Amino acid sequence: MAYFYLILLGSIWGASYLFIKVGGEVVPPLTLVFSRTAIASVVLFVTLRVKGERVPRWNDAIWKWFVLMGVINTVVPYTLITWGELYISSGLAAILIATLPIFTVLLAHWLTHDEKITPRKLLGVMAGFVGVVILFLPDLAQGQELFLAGGIAVLGAALSYAIAGIYARKTLKGVSPISSAFGQMLTAAVMILPASLLVERPWTISPTPASIFSILMLGVVGSGFAYILFYWLIAQVGATRTSLVTYVSPIVALILGAVILQEPLHWTMVVGLGLIIGGVGLVTNLQLSFGKEQGVAVEKANM
């Protein structure tokens, strides 16, 4: 049964890239990010109340960390991914976000004292780097500058997620996962709303039914229910097994993008994805067996 929920979570996060692509065709990035975070905040708040968990008081010190995480774990990566998908396919965006654990192991080497890089991890980093280069080769050869900018933006989102993951281990230890997710989504929505109003004037937008549905799916399922399922899986099967979603989401995104959006599948995507996933396996030392838990910290490779 655990495999079913792992595949379900990976599928939700993989489908999120499709919904970002569809929603972003009509709704500009800042407004889309505000909408999904505001909706997710409501979903997570209701979940907290149903579970009987206390919402942190507004003057609690934890809110300063929620603000920080709201920026580096939500506002920055969500906006970069949404903008990046204006120029690259949803499947490619998912593959690039899968580099998250590779960024994490590099940052952890410099920012922590107990997670130094090893020859095995270094090999994984090199494999992931080669995979990214291969992904960009066709459009680099054609001088597609906007494509390159979109890809770099999504890689920036993966880097931001990696930084957030390292800080979260230090600052949110002992905080209820659902409470933490709610705090981050709420502060993200509050922070990005003024920019949306000033820059994009959302009252002038005419969203289509498809874009409205996509934003609802991103908020309710991709950023609300997925968080709940994510933390439930960690509690039930452990961090190492939960990190298997890293393998599922880009594959689902590629399939959905090709089938629903008719996005082209190039051989470089297959090779690049294989190298990145192989690199992730090396840097995380992931054990595919549902045997003894290895205690590897799971990182989000999601939307």
Tell me the pLDDT tens digit for each residue of 117-158.
888 888 998 999 899 988 888 766 665 677 889 999 999 999
Residue 234 pLDDT > 90, yes or no? no
Range among 9-13, 170-174, 176-180 rated most confident: 9-13
219-224 average pLDDT score: 93
Decide: 177 and 59 in contact? Cβ < 8 Å: no
pLDDT for 237: 76
**Where residue 46 falls among pLDDT bands split at 50, 70, 90?**
very high
**Domain extent listing, the chain:** 2-284
* Mean pLDDT score across all residues of the chain: 86
Share of the chain above pLDDT 70, in %: 90
pLDDT for 154: 95
